Structure 1
Amino acid sequence: MATGKVRYWAAAKEAAGVAEEPFEAATLGELMTNITRDRAELARVVSRSSFLVDGSPVGKRPHDAVVLSEGATVEVLPPFAGG
């Protein structure tokens, strides 16, 4: 199990109510479950978001396959509108 921080951007930040928070999770999938528990609006935003783990895009990899390292930074990037 790794510890680190999750950073929220734009609508994710608004839904979470904080810009960042610490986490404890082994995989990105576990982290997503943990941060969205009892936070319906954040769960809605996260379901449409993309993620960076230590600056690297997760892309279409299954979240349960993305192992988090100790001290990792996970960034939650909701879709951005505009052009």
Structure 2
Amino acid sequence: MVDQVTGIEVRYFAAAADAAGREKETVDLAVGSDLAALRAALIERHGADMERVLSVAAYLVEPGQGGGELTRDLTYPAGAKVDVLPPFAGG
């Protein structure tokens, strides 16, 4: 039996966009995947620079309507849209 797969829209900001070489992409994962699975897929796709960024990043799950859920809890369900937010500096 094949797992059902869903496309998760990932948007990158600041250092995460630099590590990915883009501002957004779609990542296919099994339905019901958590942020740990998404993190692993992003590291596999983008390598050590992304791993370094994700070690300090937060995730905004389902941004937009209702503001979404900001978390660093990798057991949190990934949802259909995830923003990767590294720490920001400046004002």
Q: TM-score range by the shorter chain?
A: 0.7 to 0.9
Separation (CA, whole Å) in 1 of partners of 2:25 and 2:71: 22
Q: Are residue 21 (structure 1) and residue 18 (structure 2) matched?
A: no
Contact 2:38–2:78, Cα closer than 8 Å, also in 1: no
Report the 3-state secondary structure (helix = DSSP H, G, I; strand = E; otherwise coil) of the residue aligned with 1:45.
Answer: helix
Q: Are residue 42 (structure 1) and residue 50 (structure 2) matched?
A: yes
Structure 1 or 2, whichever has the larger Rg, is 2
| Number of the residue aligned with 2:77 | 67
Gaps of 5+ in 1: none
Higher relative contact order at CA 8 Å, sep ≥6: structure 1 or structure 2?
Answer: 1
Contact 1:2–1:68, Cα closer than 8 Å, also in 2: no
Contact 1:5–1:73, Cα closer than 8 Å, also in 2: yes
Counterpart AA for 2:77: V
Separation (CA, whole Å) in 2 of partners of 1:4 and 1:74: 7
- How far residue 2 of structure 1 moved from its aligned partner, in angstroms, is 2.9
**Structure 1 stretches of at least 4 aligned residues deviating more than 2 Å after TM superposition:** 57-60
Q: Structure 1, residues 8-55: CA drift from partner, whole Å, max 9, x if none?
A: 001100011011111122111101001111510011011101110112
Question: Once superposed, what is the RMSD of the aligned Cα atoms?
Answer: 1.6
Identity %: 35
Separation (CA, whole Å) in 1 of partners of 2:71 and 2:26: 23
